Amino acid sequence: MTYLERESFSEYDQSLALVYDKKYTQYMQGTTHPERPERLVYSLDMMREESLIGDVIQKVTPESASLDSIQQVHTNRYLQRLYRQSRKGSGSISADTKITDQTWTAARLAAGGAIRAAELAWEQQYDSAYAFTRPPGHHALPDRAHGFCFLNNTAIATKAIRQETDCSRVAIWDIDAHHCDGTQRVFYEDSDVLVTSIHEEDATKFLNIGGTEYTGEGEGRGRTVNIPLPPQAGDDAYQAAVEQIAQPISESFSPDILLLEIGFDAHFGDALSQMHLTANGYGDLVRKAQNFANTHCDGRLGLILSGGYDFTAGLPYSNLATLNALLGGPEDFVTEPNQPPTQVTGENHITRAREAQAHHWSL
């Protein structure tokens, strides 16, 4: 089966580090749980069929995050609970987040993968670095897990890169369908980390702190940017959110590195959201992040996988469009098996988000 319309990836001269370990496909929360190994397996099958791995894409094996790096984000009390329940081998730490005997090890390895991708992006050994990891992390709070997340991978990587290098300012763009409540909580009072979340507006999901009125506190005032979009928002709405809000604010913030937390659950085929992004729409967003990093961050861009649960179509096709964009490929590269439904522009939502940020930034 061929998934691409045009020339082979092997003709591209961009390099990509795929931070990956086989153990990411062995961890399970349950055979029917949405967050399961097939999320990565189907995408890896596509990569192999297109002869990507070992050619322009180099696999980099991560190490587990150290306890010290995890403690920079999470409380000792929570970590002790997570460790004990994982050793016990069963239970729930929240309604949708199940504990198994693999949880502690898998979560530490995922956090370590995010750290390694950030390090590679900073060191620029490759043109880009992508933490292709699971379980995801952006819902994990300092003191508890939820939303399929145990350790906040992106927050841990952000803390690590600031401690290990002379990186002082980090911009995070989160384009998962769901709000990055955990990441927001970690950095809500931090003046040196800009957290921008483009997500589906839904008052019933998670902590309900993704509204435009949440913009940071104390030294972090203006460093939290929430752009909730209406259900059925698609490519044009996401493009406008980046162009009109995320990009100009990040430019004014002047980060040293951009970390893109990419969740493919905003794809129109994903049952865990009502958003209508296409695979090529994801590619366009990645291309914008890459252009921003090249212009304002000396090319330092790290990607960290978050959600995405339509593992037979939405996730692997969107992931392929992402790889194509990172490797400098053409637009509209991937042909999907299904046609996207009608999309809404979300213009009013973007206007409200702009107005909320006008107190802190010139837009």
DSSP assignments along 308-342, one per residue: ---TTTHHHHHHHHHHHHHTTPPSS-BPPSS----
So what's the pLDDT on residue 1?
37
CATH class of the domain defined by 13-357: alpha beta
The domain limits of the chain are 13-357
Q: Note the Cα 285 to chain centre separation in Å.
A: 12
Would you tell me the crossing angle of helices 279-296 and 314-326 to the nearest 10 degrees?
30
The answer to whether 45 and 86 are in contact (CB under 8 A) is no
So what's the pLDDT on residue 31?
85
* Predicted confidence band of residue 93 (pLDDT cuts 50, 70, 90): confident
The answer to whether 262 and 307 are in contact (CB under 8 A) is no
pLDDT single digits (tens) 268-292:
999 999 999 999 999 999 999 999 9
So what's the pLDDT on residue 204?
55
Q: Is 68 helix (H, G, I), strand (E, B) or coil?
A: helix
What is the residue-averaged pLDDT of the chain? Answer: 93
Q: Residue 58: pLDDT above 50?
A: yes
CA dist 305 → 39, 219, 352 (Å): 10, 29, 28
Rounded-to-integer distance, Cα 60 and Cα 287, Å: 22
Terminus-to-terminus CA distance in the chain, angstroms?
46
Rounded-to-integer distance, Cα 108 and Cα 23, Å: 11
pLDDT single digits (tens) 216-248:
999 999 999 999 999 999 999 999 999 999 999
The alpha-helical segments, DSSP class H, found in the chain are: 38-49, 67-71, 76-88, 103-123, 153-164, 181-187, 235-241, 247-253, 279-296, 314-326, 347-357
The residue behind tokens 């949440």 is: 214
Residues carrying an active site annotation: 139
